[in-house]
Amino acid sequence: MGKEQVGTTAEQNFCDSQLFGKECDCSKINRRDFMALTAVGAAGAVLNSTKMPVMAGPFEENEYLKTIPFDKKLNPQWLASLTARGKPAIVTDPAALQHIGMPINGLFTGNLYLGGDGKLWLWDIFNRVIEGILPRPVQYKGQSLNMRGGANYVSPAPQQSPIEQGFAVRIGDNVRSLDHSGFSNISFEGRYPIGRVTYRDKDCPVSVKLEAYSPFIPLNTDDSSLPATIMSYTVKNESGKKVSAEISGWLENAICLYHREQASGIRKNRVLHEQGMTFLSCSAEPISEQESSARPDILFEDFEKENYEGWTVTGTAFGDSPIKMANIPGYQGDVAGKGKRVVNTHNVRQGEDVRGGDQHVGTLTSKPFVIQRKYINFLIGGGGHKDKTCMNLLIDDKVVTSATGRNNNRMNPGGFTVTQWEGKKAQIQIVDNEGGGWGNVGVDHIVFSDKPAQTFVLNELHDFGTMGLALLDSNSEDLASASISKPGQFQQILDKTIKLLCDKLLGSVGRRISLRPGQEKTVTFVITWHFPNLSVAGMNNVGRHYAGRFSNAQDVAQYVANNFKRLSASTRLWCETWYDSSLPYWFLDRTMANTSTLATSTCYRFKDGRFWAWEGIGCCHGTCTHVWHYAQAVGRLFPEIERDHREHVDFGVAFHTDGGIGHRANLQQSSHPAHDGQCGRILGVYREHQMTTDYAFLKRIWPKVKKAIEYMIQRDSNSDGIVEGSQPNTLDAAWYGKISFLVSLYLATLRAGEAIAVEMKDDDFARRCRDISERGRRNILKLYNGEYFYQIEDPKHLNAIGISKGCYIDQVFGQSWAFQVGLGRLFDEQKTKSALRALWKYNFVPDVGPFREKFKRGRWYAVAGDAGLLMCTWPKGGLREDFKKHWQYMYFNECMTGFEWQVASHMIWEGMITEGLAVARAIHDRYNAALRNPYNEIECSDHYARAMASYGAFIAACGYEYHGPKGYLAFEPRINPKDFKAAFITAQGWGSFSQKIFRQSQTQQIELKHGTLKLSEMEFELDPEIRPGDIVAELNEQAVRTQWRIEERKLRILFRKPVILNKGDNLSIKTSAEGQ
């Protein structure tokens, strides 16, 4: 029944609204769960109310040591699979296919899923801002989980679509939809950004292969962020006879999808024959209401009577009468009724608690009436469960239209457009058939009117725009109709159709094909959309970037048609380059899959070009620094996005006069800094500089970067390399004392500051950063207990949460970040590796089930049977009971993939290959399609940004380092280095790197597949058995003059003149041992 924040002090909760304005609401839990926890606490208080004399102790029984096995007993075959190349994952199980939802739209354009059966679903392209994928409460272990609580982890979102759309193949009179309802034998292979689906059936003479994608070309952000989805179907004749077939697609005109019942307008479909395509154009237009013709309103029901006279009641949800608003429980808030009484099915009239109030079910059905006006208007609130907490309009005992609440007790105006049923008999039925969370509905003031409940300006609505379906390479065999009555069939051919906004309108395009035995043909469709009216997180009319490039969906389709060969070839080339690798298929799948988060409603690009994001879909606004700095994918694949964000947001609107960077930023304001986010954004500047070819970006931003580093130095008052005072961080609280996690990030920041200052020729500042980092390098070791790093608490702030002696997942995070940007070793190597081994020993569990049975607080991102790396454990004691009073304590018991990926990548960098890959594989196994959607790693809501740390694990596996302005490129493969191959991306080009070590020679090869690459020097790790005698460098088999030197088995190649590679060029460097 709504949400309530658990009370915290300002120093406990750095998300406190009084400190930071409107912040994230991670501290909010479902009220029923809070009350349940409170009840447990009360019971404990009763049990302990009688005090007995204490004889001795207390003697701590360490439950962490009991529930986390030191010997992980990992299956030898499973261990072998970690590094084996393996085979591509192909999903055929029908249940698993239904779990799959691959984001298949362009970056920052909404969220359209490709199902495992090839069905497009979700259709979150209409600028509707909600939390999570298909939000709904899920009951689990006595809790009602919401989207941030792991609802879609415990119970994956069902394959649903708010619009009617599909594709079908027709042979004679037999129409088969290209999804699970049309074919019995379907397989799915996901190679993001491309999804491949194969359809076969023993009774069908043809097989069909689908290749679905939206253009995705690293370094080309604009062409990778088109509001378009390409569906290429290859139909093959598997029989011994000639086959004539039709393949077609249909699309519902869904303009103003969420206002079809409230707004006045018409939908218009047109068939257009344009250059290179046949296009079904879907649009809408307003129609003006004639005020003079409006008849007087008819009040049908105001629920002010003391009974339900004229209504039929079933069940217990509605009670004996409409409830007085004065008697509604206070925790429901103001329900905003019209008079004194309302319908409200949260029935606590007999003293029920919160859960009990929602467990009542029933219906309330009106007497029959004749529809006499254009609209039925009403107030509605409560749960958003379709068909379960709703108000229905019945005609001939059938539901013809319906409305639900919005998971909010406050009622809002709603309405039905009933023009098409005027003069017919109808009934209104109010339904509460949901006994779980938000299992209630509220209704009041039902009025028949010729005017809608709300007046809208059609072209200003968030779901106003255009959409369309194109068939490429149009020819004489094409079929198209602006209106069809039955999907997959063309009963009549219409070039133009107009219907009222409230009426469903479907159009279709298709093609006849004739196939000889064994012959195959490809037919390509493109779905496009254009919905420019975006407002999000209180920021009005920020718009869509794509709307500035294209005027409507037809323009998008024409662009794709005109550039199809290039867009398609480049997307396929990237996909082929990524998978043409020696790395395990599972590892390639998993480290790239999270990049799809950019193609979900976690991420936006406004009309002015600015990137803005939630942490997870609809949850925790403002491109949060302390979350997003974990994500390594964007800065490598699409560096201009991160570069622009550094310059115009972090060091723009979010930059404070004292050098702090607000950890959340909206249009013109930001919140207070978070220490880890501050450090991460400074480190990000160095990465973004490395992904350029010159010093222009760094020169523009350097003065503010220097000030931001000074901000951190000021928090180290004695310049000993240890930050002090209040230290807000990603676990939504300010910690105090000496904390290795934040110290390590500070040391990485100082090292980056030194490197940047050297390049900017600011020798004094470089020396200052170096001196402090040297002191910190020694002093951080005081936080080492012989096995791992911890926190020395500030005795002045023992009421604050922290980790104390805990083994925390991010304890040496700074070193992990430093490796990502080539900053080298920050502090003692052996102690750093010891800390990682401790995480493996004390935090990695092959099955979280026994642990969570004991440690119950926390959200559900891993369940019994799942392996994972826990956030924090206390194997050596030191968990203060005071910590447990803080709501943030729950985080410590959770498995969150973004943190796990950070550790996995660090382990791989440090040569702990088995442990690092085991952590990564545990995540991969948790997101197996047999269990849930492989493309949706969940933390605080769906498609969580931090999970894009997975790309950092790929960088670690390659041992990749790059500095564009210096022309420096290095590789040190960690996995199967004797025969290694993987993709790489630089500032202006991408391609493939390979390394072969055979007998007494070692060969590195760069194949540039896209763009250009300028190199002045390269570096590789030499095989221990090779003592170089001769080194030969060749560009396209032509000798290149070099110098070289060896330092600690690192071979550095210096080109006498910069080497410039263009697309298709091949650079090889062969090292032969002495005497060879």
Closest CA to 373 of 295, 310, 312: 295
Closest CA to 526 of 490, 497, 551, 563: 563
User: What type of residue is 837?
Assistant: R
803-818: average pLDDT: 99
pLDDT at 841: 98
Q: Give 6's pLDDT tier (boundaries 50, 70, 90).
A: very low
What is the spatial distance between Cα 112 and Cα 105, in angstroms, rounded to a whole number?
Answer: 6
Helices and strands, number each (H, E), in the chain: 24, 53
51-76: average pLDDT: 75
Q: What is the pLDDT of residues 78-113, one digit of tens each?
A: 999 999 999 999 999 999 999 999 999 999 999 999
Tokens of 48: 């302990």
Q: What does pTM read for this prediction?
A: 0.91
DSSP 149: G
Residue 55 clears pLDDT 50, i.e. is over it: no
204-220: average pLDDT: 99
The answer for 1070, left when phi > 0, alpha when psi is -120 to 50, beta otherwise, is beta
What is the spatial distance between Cα 595 and Cα 554, in angstroms, rounded to a whole number?
Answer: 28
Tokens of 276: 């290179």
Residue 33 clears pLDDT 60, i.e. is over it: no
What is the spatial distance between Cα 749 and Cα 726, in angstroms, rounded to a whole number?
Answer: 18
Full DSSP string of 641-672: HHHHHIIIIIIIITB-TTS-BBSSB-SS-B--
What is the spatial distance between Cα 189 and Cα 102, in angstroms, rounded to a whole number?
Answer: 11
Residue 11 clears pLDDT 50, i.e. is over it: no
- Beta carbons of 299 and 525 less than 8 angstroms apart: no
Tokens of 499: 């219907």
Q: Give 7's pLDDT tier (boundaries 50, 70, 90).
A: very low
Lowest-confidence region among 49-63, 270-284, 789-803, 1029-1043: 49-63
pLDDT at 117: 99
What is the spatial distance between Cα 611 and Cα 751, in angstroms, rounded to a whole number?
Answer: 28
Residue 30 clears pLDDT 80, i.e. is over it: no
Residue 8 clears pLDDT 70, i.e. is over it: no
* CATH number attached to the domain at 959-1073: 2.60.40.1180
Closest CA to 510 of 490, 496, 484, 483: 490
pLDDT at 70: 96
pLDDT at 1027: 83
162-168: average pLDDT: 97
User: What type of residue is 426?
Assistant: A
DSSP 829: H
Residue 290 clears pLDDT 80, i.e. is over it: no
Coil, helix or strand for 98? helix
Burial group, residue 143, by CB count within 10 angstroms (0-12, 13-18, 19+): buried
Helical packing angle, 740-759 and 675-690, nearest 10°: 30
Mode of pairing for the β-strands spanning 1001-1021 and 968-971: parallel
Residue 793: HSE in the Cβ half-sphere, 13 Å Cα cutoff:
17
pLDDT at 664: 98
Q: Give 50's pLDDT tier (boundaries 50, 70, 90).
A: very low
Mean pLDDT for the chain overall = 93
420-436: average pLDDT: 95
User: What type of residue is 750?
Assistant: L
Helical packing angle, 740-759 and 813-820, nearest 10°: 30
pLDDT at 1029: 80
612-638: average pLDDT: 98
What is the spatial distance between Cα 655 and Cα 398, in angstroms, rounded to a whole number?
Answer: 58
Coil, helix or strand for 1057? strand
DSSP 150: T
Q: What is the pLDDT of residues 703-748, one digit of tens each?
A: 999 999 999 999 999 999 999 999 999 999 999 999 999 999 999 9
Instruction: Give every CB contact of residue 862 below 8 A, 6+ residues apart in sequence.
Output: 153, 848, 852, 868, 894, 895, 926
CA 313 to chain centre: 44
* CATH number attached to the domain at 94-289+460-574: 2.70.98
% of residues, the chain, pLDDT over 70 = 94
Which residues, listed in sequence order, are joined to residue 205 by a DSSP beta bridge? none
Full DSSP string of 520-581: EEEEEEEEEEE-----BTTBTT---HHHHH-SSHHHHHHHHHHTHHHHHHHHHHHHHHHHSS
Tell which CATH classification among 1.10.40.50, 3.40.50.1110, 3.90.1330.10, 1.50.10.10 matches the domain 581-956: 1.50.10.10
Instruction: Give every CB contact of residue 1047 below 8 A, 6+ residues apart in sequence.
Output: none
Burial group, residue 25, by CB count within 10 angstroms (0-12, 13-18, 19+): middle
Instruction: Give every CB contact of residue 572 below 8 A, 6+ residues apart in sequence.
Output: 194
Tokens 């207070």 correspond to what residue?
672
Tokens 């190597």 correspond to what residue?
829
Q: Give 1075's pLDDT tier (boundaries 50, 70, 90).
A: low
pLDDT at 487: 84
Tokens of 146: 């919401």
> Does 94-289+460-574 match 581-956 in CATH topology?
no
542-569: average pLDDT: 99
pLDDT at 24: 62
CB atoms within 10 A of CB 369: 15
- Beta carbons of 941 and 618 less than 8 angstroms apart: yes
Instruction: Give every CB contact of residue 403 below 8 A, 6+ residues apart in sequence.
Output: 261, 378, 380, 390, 391, 414, 415, 416
Helical packing angle, 564-579 and 585-593, nearest 10°: 130
What is the spatial distance between Cα 158 and Cα 1050, in angstroms, rounded to a whole number?
Answer: 52
What is the spatial distance between Cα 263 and Cα 289, in angstroms, rounded to a whole number?
Answer: 10
Closest CA to 1018 of 952, 958, 954, 962: 962
- Beta carbons of 319 and 397 less than 8 angstroms apart: no
* CATH number attached to the domain at 291-450: 2.60.120.200
Tokens 């998300």 correspond to what residue?
15
Q: Is the peptide bond before 193 cis (omega within 30 degrees of 0)?
A: yes
Residue 57 clears pLDDT 50, i.e. is over it: no
Lowest-confidence region among 259-273, 590-604, 833-847: 259-273
Please tell me the total number of residues recorded for the chain in this structure: 1076
pLDDT at 61: 65
Instruction: Give every CB contact of residue 1067 below 8 A, 6+ residues apart in sequence.
Output: 1005, 1006, 1008, 1015, 1033, 1034, 1035, 1040, 1059, 1061
Q: Give 22's pLDDT tier (boundaries 50, 70, 90).
A: very low
Instruction: Please state the domain extents for the chain.
Output: 94-289+460-574, 291-450, 581-956, 959-1073
Closest CA to 275 of 466, 471, 467: 471
161 or 492: whose pLDDT is higher?
161
CB atoms within 10 A of CB 304: 14
Tokens of 434: 């949901």
Tokens of 191: 């190679």
Tokens 């149009």 correspond to what residue?
474
CB atoms within 10 A of CB 694: 11
What is the spatial distance between Cα 239 and Cα 972, in angstroms, rounded to a whole number?
Answer: 51
Burial state string for 782-796 with b = 16 or more CB within 10 A and e = fewer than 16: ebbeebbbbbbbbee
Q: What is the pLDDT of residues 442-465, one digit of tens each?
A: 999 999 999 888 888 999 999 999
pLDDT at 502: 87
